[in-house]
Amino acid sequence: MQSCLSVHPALRHICRAALLTALCAAAGFAIPEAQAAPAGRAPVYVHMNGANMFLENVVVVRPGQPVVFVDEDTGAHTIIGYNPATGATSKTFDGVVQGTPGPGHAVHTYTITFRHPGLKYYYCSVHAELLKEPGGRTVPKKRPTVHGFGDPMAGLIIVTDDPHLLADNPKTARSKILPSYFGG
Ligand SMILES: [Cu+2]
């Protein structure tokens, strides 16, 4: 049987870590987890393409966890926070992303983090507009001149520490680039 430490040098640290873990477990010591990535701090991605929609129109993040908007469309989009109760738009949640020629080219992104739990509504002012409904609530509507599926280009970020909500993110929110999602 080959000794663990006689394998390729690049694998030795992995073997040592495994050996340490096994020895710690056998001796009843707590296993150190310092090398693990901090839970919940990887960015959550929201993608745009030529459909003029945010693909992951509802995502969930922890306070301090980045949301990265990725433009895989040929055209530009804006990402602007608004308050549905007042109609006021945000001065700080206010992004612009340029388009890309397509796969193999750079994509432009806009990143934001929120410090406190809450509901963060946003829309793209190029492809949607904010209108006050008779009840007084402000909602995004698709601009009549914009092509698309009929949904307004808008979304919601839920900022929370609730593990059940955090587990509800769509799978596509884990990947920066979606190869099948270029277009516009
Ligand atoms: Cu847009």
- For the chain, percent of residues with pLDDT exceeding 90: 73
181 Cα to the center of ligand 1, angstroms: 15
What separation in angstroms does the CA of 34 have from each of 10, 38, 39? 20, 9, 12
- Enumerate the domain spans of the chain: 1-36, 44-181
Residues 22-69: pLDDT tens digits? 443 444 444 343 334 455 589 999 999 999 999 999 999 999 999 999
Cα of 174 from ligand 1 centre, angstroms: 21
Neighbours of ion ligand 1 (CB under 5 A): 77, 124, 126-127, 153
Q: Is the dihedral of CA 175, 181, 183, 184 positive or negative?
A: negative
Cα–ligand 1 centroid distance for 76 (angstroms): 7
Q: What is the pTM of this model?
A: 0.78
The answer to whether residues 15 and 5 touch, using CB atoms and an 8 Å cutoff, is yes
Class of CATH domain 44-181 = mainly beta
Residue 152 CA, ligand 1 centroid: distance in Å: 9
The gap from C-alpha 143 to its chain's centroid, in whole angstroms, comes to 25
The pLDDT tens digits for 67-81 are 999 999 999 999 999
**DSSP β-bridge partners for residue 68:** 45, 111
